[in-house]
Amino acid sequence: MGGKRLAWFLQNRYVRCRPAWVGGEARMCAIAGILNLTEGVAPSESSLRAMLGMVRHRGPDQFGIFLEDQVALGNARLSIVDVSGGQQPIGSEDENLWIVFNGEVFNHLELRSELEQRGHRFTTHCDTEVVLHLYEEHGPECLRRLNGQFALAIWNRHERSLFLARDRVGVRPLFYTCTPDRLLFASEIKAILADPRIDAQIDPVALDQIFTYWSPLSPRTCFRNIFELAPGHYLKIRDGRIEKRAFWKLEYGAKTAGRNPGTERPVADYVEEFHALLSDAVRMRLRADVAVGAYLSGGLDSSTIAALVRKLGISQLDTFSIAFDDEQFDESGFQQEMAAHLGTRHHVVRTTHAGIGAAFPNVIWHTETPILRTAPVPMFLLSRLVHDRGFKVVLTGEGADEFLGGYDIFKEAKIRRFWARQPDSQWRSSLLQRLYPDINLSGAGAAYLAAFFANDLTKTDAPDYSHGVRWRNTRRAARFFSKDFVALTAEGGGQEDRRIDYPPEFAGWSGLEQAQYLEVTTFLSPYLLSAQGDRVAMAHSVEGRYPFLDVRVMEFCNRLPARLKLRALTEKYLLRRLASGYLPETIWKRRKRPYRAPIHRSFFHAAPPAYVRELLSDSHLTATGIFNPLAVRQLTAKLEQGRAVGETDDMALVGILSTLLVQQQFVAAFSTRPALSARDDVKVVRRCRAAAKPAAEKVC
């Protein structure tokens, strides 16, 4: 072939292309790859196709493959625009660099113009090629220039090096593992498990962490020896050695902000700057030549985003909401009010207890991890509605709570710090009752609330002061573990394997800033953007875009004075000021209502579904060995009798069921299921085998 690029489609099925819209291509897909670490058998096309077949839902339109003696790169593509030459993998002009990419770079037009001025020439209109040229120009430093949500892999043929990277807060997933001779990576764990040499085994330490923090601590996943690439990090593997570095991190504090109390600007100035940044973040995320919809929860965050979309001149906006038959969780009245106010074409998925229970196993197949809430299930059903209505892209409001102080956990910590100055004050402790106006907290209820939050009240220097109460409460669900499993968690590593890795500057941050850091790193990235975000949306080939997670917006929010985030006990003060010019008063003044979904009634609303009875049977519990059959039997008896169930029992129930489903769907199934093969459009780029390869060392 004389070094020329060789590309053809298998099965005589071709893609019909048309000229690209100037904004470029919105690209939803999955990536996967294999890197040889030793002088062994070259990665095979069939192995990579099996990996891609497992993530077909993320990119069902085409498969693209790059093959060499040392590496195989794959991409499963969902085409929003049929762009000539836009199918991956994409090579550089000299064919030295090859990239597979999942996600979006929203500032790719601006970067492209800059690169063209520096002499770079493009053959496509997609953001993937922009990233490739930017890497060619700047190397790993190019990541700092990207405003987007992405996971990527770049192979350098001359260096014989593989570069993996993930966006700043982990919107897009990326997992990897090592065998003695290979490194495998993919957008989802099931793709890695398609390799029959990779065992699916639950990691006891990771499961123990889930039953405390809701998610494993990065880089762990719930599977032994399968890791996630941490948000804001990259890996570079060369000569069998691995380099892992952060290209971005959360920063807070007066030093970071370049401010002092005497030089703060008027509130109106902050509102103006915030408005400009958020509006531009929305504008960039509307770049697509397909219709872009928006989620509308009826709360402040999503309503503001939808309003800014309309302000930017979008004549017709489709919005999507979840309604619950259970009035305890339903917010459809506020959703309808906002839809009418904005004049959107509104679509609703109505969720029932039975519907949540029925969809739960499918959700766990996509989350690939045990969870402690059923909240991802309605989001899964919502994304199916979006797909059925012909949409592939939606804007959402995630991130506002974490970066603007929106959660009750921030208020709880603020009150507890105030109370800790006079721990015997009944008046100070009574402030907690203001956080829960819908709950009758008179008499014994108020006393219980005070006692609950009094735990470690005066230990205000503890790094987990803001979250310790939550984590201890969640930890109660671990009482259902069997003795043998508890012993396994003890063998799985020391305390250093279980604790949060606090950055050196953490102690110098304010109490609110410390709490925000913990919320982003232990909740937003590993749970909200994953199990409740990417995984359930991409199950139906739907991409979520998050204006509040624009890097400029995040860094702006982290520079704000605390009083503009949490003002007394009013959350997201600055956002409310901005939203007051766009939203009805009933919406922008509305107190935040956490999004939740029914748990025990979804599985025990009438007769439990067959899979619930099977999983919770004594014989199945004994066979898996993770949970104590007697303790689980006592819980199910309580549920079947209709007795009162508390929050920790709810979390325990969904945690037990989801863990057993992971055991069934992954550990048991992948031990017997043969590797799958993909039979879809595949573009294969084959390279000649290199004359020699460097010796490699184990890197994981």
**Residue 28 binned pLDDT confidence (cut-offs 50, 70, 90):** low
Read off the DSSP letter of residue 627: B
Q: Residues with Cβ < 8 Å from 99, sequence gap 6 or more?
A: 73, 88, 89, 90, 91, 128, 131, 132, 135, 152, 153, 154, 155
Measured in whole angstroms, how far is the alpha carbon of residue 570 from the centre of its chain? 27
Asked if the model's pLDDT at residue 61 lies above 90, the reply is no
* The pLDDT value given to residue 10: 24
Amino acid at 189: I
Let me know: does 20 contact 108? Beta carbons within 8 Å.
no
How many whole angstroms separate alpha carbon 532 and alpha carbon 170? Answer: 13
- The closest of 25, 169, 186, 174 to 104, measured between CA atoms, is 25
pTM for this structure?
0.91
Lowest mean pLDDT across 154-158, 377-381, 389-393, 682-686: 682-686
Of residues 666 and 442, the one with the higher pLDDT is: 666
**18 is written with which tokens?**
């048309």
- What structural domains does the chain harbor? 10-199+228-249+681-686 (3.60.20.10), 254-404+515-588 (3.40.50.620), 600-672 (no CATH)
How many whole angstroms separate alpha carbon 262 and alpha carbon 265? Answer: 9
* The pLDDT value given to residue 257: 46
- Segment 444-455 shows an average pLDDT of 82
Lowest mean pLDDT across 493-497, 586-590, 661-665: 493-497
Mean confidence (pLDDT) of the chain: 88
Using the structure block, give the residue that is written with the tokens 């390869």: 693
How many whole angstroms separate alpha carbon 132 and alpha carbon 61? Answer: 23
Strand partners, 98: 91, 155
Using the structure block, give the residue that is written with the tokens 């990665």: 43
How many whole angstroms separate alpha carbon 266 and alpha carbon 283? Answer: 26
Asked if the model's pLDDT at residue 693 lies above 60, the reply is no
Let me know: does 175 contact 185? Beta carbons within 8 Å.
yes
Q: What 3-state class would DSSP assign to 333?
A: helix
Tell me the pLDDT tens digit for each residue of 319-373.
Answer: 999 999 999 999 999 999 999 999 999 999 999 999 999 999 999 999 999 999 9
Using the structure block, give the residue that is written with the tokens 């937003």: 524
The rounded percent of the chain whose pLDDT value lies above 90 is: 75
Q: Residues with Cβ < 8 Å from 390, sequence gap 6 or more?
A: 291
How many whole angstroms separate alpha carbon 82 and alpha carbon 92? Answer: 20
* Cross-sheet strand order for the sheet of 318-324: 345-351, 318-324, 292-295, 393-395, 543-545
* The pLDDT value given to residue 5: 28
Number of C-alpha atoms within 13 angstroms, CB side, residue 480? 31
3-state secondary structure 561-616: CHHHCEECCEECHHHHHHHCCCCCHHHHCCCCCCCCCCCHHHHHCCCCCHHHHHHC
The rounded percent of the chain whose pLDDT value lies above 70 is: 87
Q: What 3-state class would DSSP assign to 396?
A: coil
How many whole angstroms separate alpha carbon 487 and alpha carbon 489? Answer: 5
Which burial class, exposed, middle or buried, applies to 346 when counting CB atoms under 10 A from its CB (0-12, 13-18, 19+)?
Answer: middle
- The closest of 177, 140, 279, 54 to 700, measured between CA atoms, is 177
Output phi, psi for 105, to 5 deg. -115, 105
CA distances 49 to 44, 181, 347, Å, are 9, 20, 37
* The pLDDT value given to residue 9: 25
Of residues 572 and 82, the one with the higher pLDDT is: 572
How many whole angstroms separate alpha carbon 538 and alpha carbon 547? Answer: 18
How many whole angstroms separate alpha carbon 44 and alpha carbon 162? Answer: 17
